[in-house]
């Protein structure tokens, strides 16, 4: 199941996608915005190409958690996108994602012009990776934590393997010939 992450800006959209297991995020591209319809066509093409099953849109909240003007624009854009596609679209708090992306790119020693070209894509990666990490943590919490249960499951698995090995690899004793017994 691949998931797409989007960092919506006024001039560009950073796009990232997950691996098929939904564990890691990779930057795909930075889309230069033309019109809402053109943006949606490009995103729909990526959805088809990579068989995307969910979209996570970075929501630029203020530091106090409130929604500002840019967040309202993103929510309006997201609602329009939902009308064009048939997969789930959710938001993810993107506070400081661009700052984090800028830090990563500075540490990579990229020039200002190169950073400008990829910063939105890297921000989309950070947004999506944050979502994937949190989703993975939720899945881990759903696993049984009872040590007795885990031990029992492990012993049952071991018993199954031994029985399977026995039937597959231990030679069968042949029935003695009835004539030899008299």
Alpha carbons 80 and 58: distance in angstroms, whole number: 15
Alpha carbons 150 and 147: distance in angstroms, whole number: 5
pLDDT for 29 = 94
Q: Which of 26-40, 108-122, 125-139, 162-176 holds the top average pLDDT?
A: 26-40
Average pLDDT for 8-34:
92
Q: What domains can you pick out in the chain, each with its CATH number?
A: 2-142 (3.30.420.140)
pLDDT greater at residue 67 or residue 75: 75
pTM for the model stands at 0.69
pLDDT for 101 = 60
Q: What is the tens place of the pLDDT at every residue in 80-99?
A: 999 999 999 999 988 666 66
Give the count of beta carbons closer than 10 Å to the beta carbon of residue 160: 10
Q: What is the tens place of the pLDDT at every residue in 113-124?
A: 665 666 678 888
Residue 33 has pLDDT above 80, yes or no: yes
Alpha carbons 55 and 40: distance in angstroms, whole number: 13
Q: How far lies 32's CA from each of 10, 103, 118, 155, in Å?
A: 9, 22, 11, 56
pLDDT for 175 = 57
């Amino acid at each position: 199941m691949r998931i797409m992450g989007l960092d919506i800006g006024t001039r560009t959209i950073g796009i990232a996608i997950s691996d098929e297991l939904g564990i890691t995020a990779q930057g795909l591209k930075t889309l230069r915005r033309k019109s809402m319809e053109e943006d949606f066509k490009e995103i729909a093409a990526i959805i088809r190409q990579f068989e995307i099953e969910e979209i996570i849109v970075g929501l630029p909240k203020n530091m106090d958690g409130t929604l500002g003007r840019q967040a309202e624009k993103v929510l309006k854009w997201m609602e329009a996108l939902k009308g064009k596609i048939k997969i789930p679209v959710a938001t993810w708090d993107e506070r400081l994602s661009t700052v984090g992306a800028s830090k990563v790119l500075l540490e990579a020693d990229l020039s200002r012009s190169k950073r400008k070209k990829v910063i939105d894509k890297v921000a989309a990666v950070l947004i999506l990776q944050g979502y994937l990490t949190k989703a993975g943590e939720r899945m881990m919490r759903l696993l049984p934590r009872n040590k007795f249960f885990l031990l029992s499951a492990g012993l049952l698995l071991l018993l199954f393997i031994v029985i399977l090995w026995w039937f597959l690899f231990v030679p069968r004793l042949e029935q003695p010939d009835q004539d030899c017994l008299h």
